[in-house]
Structure 1
Amino acid sequence: MAEATQAQPSNWNVPNVLTTARIVAVPFFAWALLVDGGDSITWRCVAFVIFSLAMITDKIDGDLARKHNLITNFGKIADPIADKAVTGMAFIGLSIVGDIWWWVTIVVLIREWSVTLLRLSILSKVVIAAADLGKIKTTFQAVALATLCLPLRDPDLPSGLEVPGEVIFYLAQAFLAVAVALTLWSGWEFYRDVWKQRATLRNSGGGRL
């Protein structure tokens, strides 16, 4: 028992610090994105930097936690919350400034938070590993949201950037469309896997989820 206790990593580690930093960054990201109703070129670029750093640290803290066996109960709970808080704020903020339709944001947020809450609620009984499809979805989603944070269609942009800005904007929308499709599909796969494990536990007498 003592050895098991000693093997448990401390919550005070680099991956958890990075996770906490992402949560703390959410209000700053929101403010930067919405300055002047989203019409500030400078602050939209700041929002892009904050969001991009958040997505990069999400990758880094996960890799560090697995490589150095720093997976903690705090990290299991805080990491998905941090991810959904950052991306959720991006969806909401970009809908407020008119770059993403509200129905897209609502559909994605319902899927993301329902899966996250269910994953956390069954954490002690079953483990649903992140599927490859979910990872691809996250990549498309991150690229689309980060790109849309930029002031691509701002009327104050230099004239030479107007056409490239429009092209990049619609490319980002195409990435977002793929991300939404993958979000719904990976969500269905998650619920399917939960249902299968639930049936397995019941048949083996392991109780209910």
Structure 2
Amino acid sequence: MSEQADQGTQVPPVSNWNLPNALTMVRILLVPVYGVLLAQDTVGSRIAACVVFVIAALTDRWDGHIARTRGLITKFGTMLDTLADKILVVAALLIFSWLGEVPWWVTIVLIVREFGIMALKSALARHEVIAPSSGGKLKAVLQMVALAVLTVDWVNLLPEPFGAIMYWLGMVILYAATLIAVATAVDYVIKAARIVRAGRSAT
């Protein structure tokens, strides 16, 4: 143990204004750009929207990796990162449903699941932190892949039947993500009920 540690030297708190949080802010700022391009609904604008979506998704990976490896994790950054992910996914789903390409029930289920679980975790934070499950991580990956695929207007970009095949590939992945989303939501609720019961038993 170092002499400084023996003297009780405290590590200075991590500033909220750091590179990972800056990347998260970039992701948030890219959401309206993505939304405008997607809503224009032309082959060119949707290809551009896909590029923006992929860049936004990559910033999610980069900011998390940098924060962990450089010790720059903050409560503000964690909250901002979660919010940025939700905003990007919700914007994409709402526009796809508005364009008639994704059923509204899928959009509603996924949005309710996202914000419902976020509220549940927040309510239980004082008792116990529920770690993300492997199913939840798989859902997030499938969801992002599906939305990236669906962003491109394959039907008008490729000759039949290849355009339709690509569209339905994206939908199948999104349906799989939706199924996992429901299953993991049930799992979260069961875990939450156990935590509440355990807390009541301890009092």
* TM-score, normalising length: structure 2: 0.89
The alpha-carbon deviation at position 53 of structure 1 amounts to 1.4
* Pair 72,3 (structure 1): closer, same or farther in 2 beyond 3 Å: farther
1:3-82 alignment to 2 at 5 Å?
Answer: 3=9, 6-35=11-40, 38=41, 40-82=42-84
* Residues 79-104 of structure 1: per-residue CA shift (max 9 Å, x gap): 11110100111100111111101111
Contact 2:124–2:192 (8 Å) recurs in 1: no
Regions of 4+ moved over 6 Å: none
The alpha-carbon deviation at position 142 of structure 1 amounts to 0.8
Deviates more, 1:58-67 or 1:71-80: 58-67
The alpha-carbon deviation at position 20 of structure 1 amounts to 1.3
Deviates more, 1:15-24 or 1:113-122: 113-122
Partner of 1:183: 181
The alpha-carbon deviation at position 124 of structure 1 amounts to 4.3
Higher Cα radius of gyration: 2
Residue 115 of structure 2 is aligned to residue 113 of structure 1: yes
Cα RMSD of the aligned pairs, angstroms, is: 1.7
Residue 168 of structure 2 is aligned to residue 170 of structure 1: yes
* Residues 57-114 of structure 1: per-residue CA shift (max 9 Å, x gap): 1122122222222111111211111101001111001111111011110111111111
**Number of matched pairs:** 196
Deviates more, 1:56-65 or 1:164-173: 56-65
Q: Distance in 2 between matches of 1:153 and 1:124?
A: 49
The alpha-carbon deviation at position 161 of structure 1 amounts to 3.2
- The share of aligned pairs that are identical, in percent, is 33
Which residue identity is paired with 2:190? R
The alpha-carbon deviation at position 123 of structure 1 amounts to 3.4
* Residues 13-72 of structure 1: per-residue CA shift (max 9 Å, x gap): 11111111111111111111001xx2x111101111111111121122122222222111
Gaps (5+ residues) in structure 2?
1-7
Gaps (5+ residues) in structure 1?
none
